[in-house]
């Protein structure tokens, strides 16, 4: 009985320790998580900047002739699309960084 208890205890301790990450692994994973968070923050800032630029472009079209207003609308749309594409790319990098853990 004592032998089986000792074997069971040793197996349980071994399983418990094997489930724990090393300090180096924890530091690496925390670094990856921090990098992913930075990328997501950068993506959000990119979206906000693109929206502000697009709004500024649209605000300048007041009093302009129709063709110029249409060009301004197109430029604003392109600014939003480019910002969104860049932000999406950053979020994809953040996802890939998290998956590397």
The CA distance from 47 to 65, in Å, is 29
pLDDT tens by residue, 53-85: 999 998 887 777 787 888 999 999 999 999 999
Name the residue with tokens 């600014």.
79
pLDDT tens by residue, 11-55: 565 555 555 678 999 999 999 999 999 999 999 999 999 999 999
The H or E element spanning position 58 is helix 23-59
Global confidence as pTM: 0.71
Helices (H) and strands (E) in the chain, counts: 3, 0
Whole-number pLDDT of residue 2:
59
Whole-number pLDDT of residue 66:
80
- 62 φ, ψ to 5°? -60, 130
Name the residue with tokens 């932000």.
87
How far is Cα of residue 21 from the mean position of the Cα atoms in its chain? Answer: 24
């Amino acid at each position: 009985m004592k032998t089986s208890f000792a074997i069971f205890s040793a197996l349980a301790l071994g399983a418990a320790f094997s489930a724990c990450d090393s300090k180096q692994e924890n530091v690496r994973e925390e670094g990856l998580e921090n990098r992913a968070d930075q990328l997501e923050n950068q993506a959000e800032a990119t979206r906000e900047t693109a929206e502000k630029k697009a709004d500024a472009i649209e605000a300048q079209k007041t009093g302009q002739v129709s063709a110029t207003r249409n060009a301004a609308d197109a430029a604003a749309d392109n600014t939003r699309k480019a910002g969104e594409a860049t932000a999406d790319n950053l979020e994809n990098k953040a996802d890939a960084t998290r998956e590397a853990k």
